[in-house]
Amino acid sequence: MKVNFSNVNLENIDKYEEKALAAFDTLMGRNGEGNDFLGWIDRPVDYDKDEFERIKKAATRIRENSDVLVSIGIGGSYLGIKAVDVACDSYFNSERKTKIIYAGHQLSGEYLVELLDYLKDKDYSLNVISKSGTTTEPAIAFRVLKEALEEKYGKEEAKNRIFATTDKAKGALKELANAEGYESFIVPDDIGGRFSVISAVGLLPLAVAGINIDEFMAGFADGREKYTNKSMENDAIKYAAVRNMLHEDGKDIEILLNYEPKLKYVAEWWKQLYGESEGKDGKGLFPASVSNTTDLHSMGQMIQDGVRNIFETVIEVENPSKDLTIKEDEQNLDGLNFLAGKTMSYINKQAMEGTAMAHVEGNVPNIRIKIDKINERNLAELFYFFEIAVGVSGYMLGVNPFNQPGVEAYKKAMFKLLGKPGY
């Protein structure tokens, strides 16, 4: 993975070097706010090997007896899984035996009714992911799906099809798992949800989906080796510094941009990571995303000519695994014969380069993150890069990057409206 800052004016970056390196020391020294949630830093090399093997064995059983695994979770218990699942799947004709379907990530009754209808003639299992077991969205989905599963298979068989990823010792879901005999995996105490795809939270459903979790963990280890050295040559530290420099220059919105549709949910995961980590105390850059060239025909006008408070971080896939060459057409009614002999990836790349040129000229700085191809290992390294960078960036902003106190505000208001006791 390579990061290119050539489309950013780095004239003032030296002013941010001392602050960025100090923030990195705070992160790696585990002496800043939120330091009890830094287990993800060493997780790529320091993880429970026995649980890892249990995950593989459980995934094999699920793949053997289920057409579908319903992954029940929200936020960090959903977005990282979905990001890797979508990125590593083919658009059409997937050869995966077991499909991952998501529930508990919203409160739509229509979605849940349609999901129940879809599952009627399928063999399926459930993986409920919740540290407490009482988070509203996944708790409702699990209550409904558990009832349907028990009606379909009977309680004894259903318990063999329910997998709980939860606290190691306490909480409503852990108590239920113990009482009912569900196989359980651990949500680590020292890893927050938005960082948790490296744990059983992500690894079990991804293994079921056919993701090579050995390669996935190796990618995180690659990231740990590359992005935990104290130097402005460390691209994660430099990215954090550049973000803060641009922010102080009035660039308050960062747009994560891709040219491969498979990366759409990587952007959704990234938005949670940065929004939840930095949006505190009236501070933080606003994380947004677009998918090009699609959004050049919708958001393109705003980005090119709107308020000049944005910059872009572009994820470039240098070597797509599949490609297509445009053929010459004798009639040429569409006027596209000038593209004959060129590949789609080449055309897409020129669209990216042309867009960058136009946007930089329009005062939208561009950071470029290049990955060789979309696979488990490269995605994991990318995730680790963003995680180190958000820790450094958050400390540079003067916030705790590892809590999310504002998330509770909507819950209090919602529970009051719903008449929950105590609210």
Over residues 54-100, the pLDDT tens digits come to 999 999 999 999 999 999 999 999 999 999 999 999 877 667 789 99
Amino acid code (one letter) for 415: F
Same domain, 271 and 337: yes
Number of domains in the chain: 2
DSSP state letter for 319? S
DSSP H helices in 66-108: 79-88
Which residue, 187, 211, 235, sits at the end of a domain? 211
Classify residue 419: in a domain, yes or no: no
Q: What is the pLDDT of residue 92?
A: 76
Same domain, 25 and 54: no
Same domain, 198 and 222: no
Classify residue 37: in a domain, yes or no: no
State whether residue 85 is helix, strand or coil.
helix
**For the chain, what is the radius of gyration of the CA atoms?**
23
Q: What percent of the chain has pLDDT over 90?
A: 95
Distance (Å) of CA 262 to CA 58, 84, 109, 267:
27, 9, 27, 10
Q: What is the pLDDT of residue 369?
A: 98
CATH of the domain at 84: 3.40.50.10490
Classify residue 414: in a domain, yes or no: no
Which residue, 169, 193, 211, sits at the end of a domain? 211
Classify residue 354: in a domain, yes or no: yes
Same domain, 269 and 251: yes
Same domain, 107 and 188: yes
Classify residue 420: in a domain, yes or no: no
Mean pLDDT of 103-108: 97
- Of the pLDDT bands very low, low, confident and very high (cuts 50, 70, 90), residue 356 is very high
Same domain, 287 and 236: yes
DSSP state letter for 327? P
Same domain, 378 and 286: yes
Q: Distance between CA 12 and CA 246 in Å, rounded? A: 10
- Token pair belonging to 202: 């992500």
Q: pLDDT digits over 274-324, tens only?
A: 999 999 999 999 999 999 999 999 999 999 999 999 999 999 999 999 999
Q: Give just the sign of the alpha carbon dihedral 398, 400, 404, 409.
A: negative
Q: What angle do CA 324, 326, 327 make, to 5 degrees?
A: 125
Told to judge if 276 belongs to the known catalytic residues of this protein, a careful annotator would answer yes
Same domain, 191 and 234: no
Written as one string, the DSSP assignment of 14-34 is: HHHHHHHHHHHHHHHTT-STT
Q: What is the pLDDT of residue 93?
A: 63
What is the domain extent for residue 182? 43-211
Q: Average per-residue pLDDT in the chain?
A: 96
Q: pLDDT digits over 228-279, tens only?
A: 999 999 999 999 999 999 999 999 999 999 999 999 999 999 999 999 999 9
Q: H/E element holding 7?
A: strand 2-7
Same domain, 126 and 16: no
Q: What is the pLDDT of residue 90?
A: 81
Please tell me which residue in 137, 268, 276, 381 is annotated as part of the active site.
276
Mean pLDDT of 122-143: 96
Please tell me which residue in 411, 412, 416, 420 is annotated as part of the active site.
411
User: In the chain, how many H helices and how many E strands?
Assistant: 15, 10
Q: How many CB atoms lie under 10 A from the CB of residue 171?
A: 18
- Of the pLDDT bands very low, low, confident and very high (cuts 50, 70, 90), residue 31 is very high
Q: What is the pLDDT of residue 78?
A: 96
Same domain, 293 and 365: yes
Q: pLDDT digits over 147-183, tens only?
A: 999 999 999 999 999 999 999 999 999 999 999 999 9
Cβ-proximal residues to 15 (8 Å cutoff; 6+ apart), any chain = 245
Mean pLDDT of 319-330: 96
Q: pLDDT digits over 195-224, tens only?
A: 999 999 999 999 999 999 999 999 999 999
Which residue, 152, 185, 211, sits at the end of a domain? 211
Classify residue 413: in a domain, yes or no: no
Classify residue 406: in a domain, yes or no: no
Classify residue 411: in a domain, yes or no: no
pLDDT at residue 407 above 90? no
Told to judge if 57 belongs to the known catalytic residues of this protein, a careful annotator would answer no
Same domain, 124 and 59: yes
Q: Residue 204: left (phi > 0), alpha (psi -120 to 50), or beta?
A: alpha
Q: What is the pLDDT of residue 14?
A: 96
Q: What percent of the chain has pLDDT over 70?
A: 100
Q: What is the pLDDT of residue 51?
A: 98
Same domain, 247 and 352: yes
